[in-house]
Amino acid sequence: MVRYASGKKCIEVARQLLKSARTADELRTAQAVLLPLEMGLNPEQTAMIIGRSRGATCSIRTRFVKISAGNLPAPRSKRSLRNRAKADLVRERAVPDEVLSTAATGGVVVVPQAKPQVEALLGKTMALSTLYRMLARHGWRKLAPDTQHPQGDHEVREAWKKNSQAN
């Protein structure tokens, strides 16, 4: 018993995808739909041509047919997706300017002390490493050394500097 390929209703959509494909996955999807319908290829031949297994090829075809029929939602674009982002880039870009205003006037900013302010602005908790990555993403960098130890003696430090040998 011969099993014919389904999806004749979405053949025009697949042709448009074939013409406008930007990624290899989009091209494979269009080929997985069009090759059996227009060329009469069986699933094994189609899988060999697009470089996927028979099962993956059938899944690609089935998913495309369901999406074009409206039975499945279209997948989200991977280009604009920032997984687990604390805020969108526009909002994130404004946060350092609001919280780290002392740095604009030449003050030293200690990031762990600014972390609660950033969390309050964004309304979400974040790891310290996330805050450092966010600052680096928007061009902030460490320009001054860390503050001196609070229990340190300034006079002893200066005396040691004067008496130490220059290298």
8 Å CB contact between 64 and 29: yes
Q: Could you tell me which residue, 157 or 30, shows the higher pLDDT? A: 30
pTM beyond 0.95, yes or no: no
> Would the pLDDT of 130 be above 80?
yes
Q: What are phi and psi of 164, to 5 degrees?
A: -75, 150
159, two tokens = 């005396």
* All domains in the chain, ordered by first residue: 8-69 (1.10.10), 89-137 (no CATH)
* Residues above pLDDT 90, as percent of the chain: 22
pLDDT of residue 31: 93
Nearest partner of 116 among 124, 108, 105, 106, judged by Cα: 124
Q: What is the pLDDT of residues 70-109, one digit of tens each?
A: 888 877 666 555 556 667 777 887 887 787 776 667 666 7
What residues have CB less than 8 Å from 34, skipping those under 6 apart? 11, 14, 15, 18
Return left, alpha or beta for 160; rule: phi > 0 is left, psi -120 to 50 is alpha, else beta. alpha
pLDDT of residue 99: 79
C-alpha distances out from residue 127 to 10, 96, 121, 124, Å: 47, 16, 15, 10
8 Å CB contact between 50 and 32: yes
DSSP class of residue 148 equals P
Q: How many CB atoms lie within 10 A of CB 158?
A: 10
